[in-house]
Amino acid sequence: MTPDNLQFRTGVIKPVECLKEGWALLKDQYWLCVVGGFIGLAVPVVLLGPMMSGIFLCLFQRMRNEKVEFADLFKGFDYFVPSLIVAVIRIVPILLLIVPFYIIMFTVMFSTMPRGRGNPGEAPGFLFAFFGIEIVFVVVLLTIKIVIESLFLFAFPLVVDRKLSGLEAIKLSIKAARANLGGVAGLVLLNEAIAIVGAFCCIVGIYFVLPVTFAADAVAYRRVFPEGFQNFASPPPPPASWAA
């Protein structure tokens, strides 16, 4: 199966609805997804792909009203290579931005920061400049992260649901995300807001809200890629009774 013969629906993602349906789907298996998130982030990139795949496999099983067990979480390792490719390509652009920035920032900081007593007026100005640059960087980084999250929203689900390779899943995810740009962007922004709230709760709170965002993503995916349909370019026409 290739992306060329896999079509998708458009205009079906409603961010708030996806979040509500995601929580309803998740609440019976909440701690399973929390564990999966912890394991996936324990060794970023290497374990992230398989564990994300396992989480989506479990969520899709819940959608089919199938029993979900803890061992099912590790079935994502059956898709280790394609999910690893998705994880690497997803994370590399952010790393390429973060690492050079901090190298440059700390180099400039240590070379220009006031030494000794110096002028008492220099320290506040230096701190304002430092934190100003940091704020600008965070805004830029967050913007790039939102763009990447939007384009890769369907990549992991496509790997496990449609058995696509990593590159095929990324290509189709980008295509489907662009065709559903409004709904995808709204969902990603909502997810980011929830993640920021979780991060404010002693940082570790983010681990407890991420499963909710994963479930919302799974709902959005299933709306765009309905199970059992391979050629679905647009929502099906309503039954005759609806038109009447």
235 belongs to a structural domain: no
Q: How many domains are there within the chain?
A: 1
Q: Which residues contact 234 (CB under 8 A, 6 or more apart)?
A: 9, 10, 11
142-164 pLDDT, tens digit per residue, is: 888 889 999 999 999 999 999 99
Distances (CA, A) of 51 to 35, 43, 71, 83, 87: 9, 11, 12, 9, 11
Full-prediction pTM beyond 0.75?
yes
243 belongs to a structural domain: no
* Per-residue pLDDT at 243: 38
78 belongs to a structural domain: yes
CA 130, CA 102: separation in Å to the nearest integer? 12
244 belongs to a structural domain: no
156 belongs to a structural domain: yes
165 belongs to a structural domain: yes
> What tens-digit pLDDT sequence spans the chain (244 residues)?
556 567 889 999 999 999 999 999 888 878 787 788 777 766 666 788 898 999 999 999 999 988 888 888 899 999 999 999 999 998 888 778 777 777 777 776 676 665 555 555 555 666 666 677 778 777 888 888 889 999 999 999 999 999 999 999 999 999 999 999 999 999 999 998 888 887 777 666 677 888 889 999 999 999 999 986 554 444 444 444 333 3
Q: Which domain holds residue 36?
A: 3-113+121-227
CA R_g for the chain = 21
